[in-house]
Structure formats: structure tokens, C-alpha cells
Structure 1
């Protein structure tokens, strides 16, 4: 982690691990390059009912992030959420005759590290297939 000494120029950056206690007290938390806005981590959660379109959307997001120079961690497959619904086949009698339906929600997690403003803009304007839910946290 890099800090800038208070009242000093950009050339006097100190490393917090090797700094003395006096240097740590006078250091302020500023980035080394103020003109290049670097976002530390973007976490993207993708959800879909179909595993083929979620893989297609994941591939599209990873290619876009790598094209803009960001590092990508993932995709990490999260557990599939399974919901079962049981309904009677008939409306009145025959309680033993039932039908079961299952709904599966596939999930993926992607972390984008060392991204810049161009990467975020490209991800926000990205077109994904219908039926894919994307949640972005910065």
C-alpha cells in the first residue's frame, strides 16, 4: 500500500510496510497517479435460467474487460439454486397424482481487478443476451 507524505511531492511516496511510526502518522492516503483513476475491484454476479446463455454472457464480459487492459479473476461457478414446485394433476380428487416442476438458477462470479474508467464504461454499455441478470458492485 502506498501513501503520500503530507505537504510533499509525488516523488516522496512511502511504503506502509517499511515506514517508521513517525512517517505513518504524517502519511495521507492518496494514490500515486491522480490523473489515471484506478478502480481497485469490480465484482460482477451473473444469474440466468439457462447455462448456455450465462456462459455466453460471461465470455462476453471477460473479453470486454481484457480488451481494456483489466485483470480478470474467474468466472467462478456458484452453486445452482434449485426450486421445486409440486402441484396436483387434477383439480378435485386423486391427491396421489402430482406433478413436480423444477426451476434452476445458474450463477457465476467474476472479479475484475485494476480496471479504469474506460473498462467500467464498456461494461455498462455491454449488450448481453435476454434472460441474463447482471449485478455489478464496485
Structure 2
């Protein structure tokens, strides 16, 4: 029995919240103690690209990229228990021992 810190990342906040609810429902069926979800700060990346490759240097376009994060702390879990959860594409799950 181990304690795990589960960090969940996604580009879409709505899909991230749905997957956190799915994980919490799965964990509650197993009668496992959990703390969270803890909301971490959203990371924002901005990329600026020239629209025209030659003459119009002042004409630029900006793109934003948001990375939403949540943390769950799960107590007294076997390592195989968390592998059975199916998450939607675009959601990354990182598991570390506490």
C-alpha cells in the first residue's frame, strides 16, 4: 500500500474537470481516501508569428496556449489500481510516490 500524488494536465479545462470527476468516482468505488482536487495555476504560453514573410514586418499574429493542472493525493493504494482508468485524449496523468 502506497501513497501517490497524481498530477493531471490538459489544454482544455472542461475536459480536465470531467476526467477529475471520473477519477474521483472510480476511487470512491474502491473506498480509498483521497485529498483534492487541488487547482494549480494555469500556465499560459504566447507565440507571436509574422503574417508575411517579406515586407510587412509590423503585421503579426499571436496564439495562446493554456495548460490547466490539478493534483490529487491518494492514500493506501496498490500500483495496479490506477492503471485501469481510461481518460480522454489530451489529458496527461503523472503518478509519483509520496
TM-score normalised according to structure 2 size? 0.92
CA distance in 2, matches of 1:63, 1:87: 43
Match of 2:48 in 1: 86
1:55-134 alignment runs, 5 A limit: 55-115=17-77, 117=78, 120-134=79-93
Q: Does 1:50 align with 2:12?
A: yes
Structure 1 residue 114, shift from structure 2 partner: 2.9
Aligned-residue offset at 1:63: 1.1
Greater relative contact order (Cα < 8 A, sep 6+): 2
Q: CA deviation at 1:91?
A: 1.2
Distance 2:71 2:55 in 1: 46
Higher radius of gyration, 1 or 2: 1
Distance in structure 1 (CA, Å) of the matches to 2:17 and 2:55: 44
Matched pairs, number: 97
Gaps spanning 5+ residues in structure 2: where?
A: none
CA contact (8 A) 1:43 1:136 kept: yes
4+ residue stretches of structure 1 with deviation over 6 A?
Answer: none
Higher strand share: 2
RMSD: 1.1
